[in-house]
């Protein structure tokens, strides 16, 4: 297991939830961290709260911006692709429009942008880690577009792991995690998450830092590539 001390880490989608937790953890282990997202408000708040991390505003579909960011960093040890970059519709396949279904894949295309622009800057001893999700292998009704996107991300991970070796490529697949995704529930948030947690073997939903820990494990483990790390409290079990 390698140390992150003195290494350069870039987190795309790093100003909230899992991405922010990963950025903070990497910095705490001695890495120099660049974290970006498309939300200017989140960037400003995160920079105020974490002055030693370099935050910036950037959309995952801005290939020129990604290229400039990676060139600015120089030699990169680890890239994390966590940004959603898509409008996702939860509805049965036959009730979605073609446009709605295709829109979910904007996440996948964003990840291909990160890979194409970022890999040329990654050290041969470095890594690229995608963040996907459990629907790739356990699809609930109404999640077809999200599931198919996740399957594409996991397929890309395995393909790239062969093509760009010895650079390592892995994917972390979270289960139900208590992030800003549930903010719209307002005062019902805690109750709803508690109800969801009762259907998970560990009896609760996960926290961002629990997923971020697996992202850092993917960075540090120098003999792991093409792997999917599930962090879902056992939610893939029958």
Q: Considering the entire predicted model, what is its pTM?
A: 0.95
At the second CATH level, the architecture of 8-180+209-230 is 3-Layer(aba) Sandwich (3.40)
The DSSP call for residue 37 is E
Two tokens, residue 151: 């399957």
Two tokens, residue 140: 């609930």
Cα distance between residue 162 and residue 132, in whole Å: 19
Cα distance between residue 118 and residue 70, in whole Å: 6
Per-residue pLDDT of the chain (238 residues; tens, 9 = 90+): 789 999 999 999 999 999 999 999 999 999 999 999 999 999 999 999 999 999 999 999 999 999 999 999 999 999 999 998 788 889 999 999 999 999 999 999 999 999 999 999 999 999 999 999 999 999 999 999 999 999 999 999 999 999 999 999 999 999 999 998 888 889 899 999 999 999 999 999 999 999 999 999 999 999 999 999 999 999 999 8
Question: Residue 174 pairs with which residues in a beta bridge?
Answer: 231
H runs (alpha helix) in the chain: 17-28, 40-49, 63-73, 98-103, 106-118, 144-163, 189-197, 208-220
């Amino acid at each position: 297991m390698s140390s992150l001390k003195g290494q350069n880490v870039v987190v795309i989608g790093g100003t909230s939830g899992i991405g922010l937790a990963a950025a903070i953890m990497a910095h705490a282990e001695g890495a120099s961290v660049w974290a970006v997202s498309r939300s200017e408000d989140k960037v400003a708040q995160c920079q105020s709260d974490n002055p030693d991390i370099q935050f910036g505003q950037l959309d995952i579909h801005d290939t020129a911006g990604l290229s400039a960011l990676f060139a600015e960093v120089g030699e990169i040890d680890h890239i994390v692709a966590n940004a959603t970059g898509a409008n996702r519709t939860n509805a049965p396949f036959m009730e979605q429009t073609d446009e709605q279904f295709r829109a979910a894949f904007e996440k996948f295309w964003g990840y291909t942008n990160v890979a194409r622009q970022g890999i040329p800057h990654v050290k041969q001893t470095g890594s690229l880690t995608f963040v996907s999700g459990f629907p790739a292998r356990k699809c609930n009704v109404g999640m077809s577009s999200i599931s198919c996107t996740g399957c594409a991300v996991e397929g890309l991970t395995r393909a790239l792991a062969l093509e760009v070796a010895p650079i390592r490529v892995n994917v972390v697949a979270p289960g139900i995690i208590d992030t800003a995704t549930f903010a719209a529930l307002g005062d019902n948030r805690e109750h709803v998450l508690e109800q969801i947690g009762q259907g998970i073997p560990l009896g609760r939903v996960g926290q961002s830092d629990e997923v971020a820990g697996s992202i850092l494990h993917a960075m540090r483990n120098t003999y792991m590539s093409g792997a999917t790390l599930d962090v879902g409290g056992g939610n893939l079990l029958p």
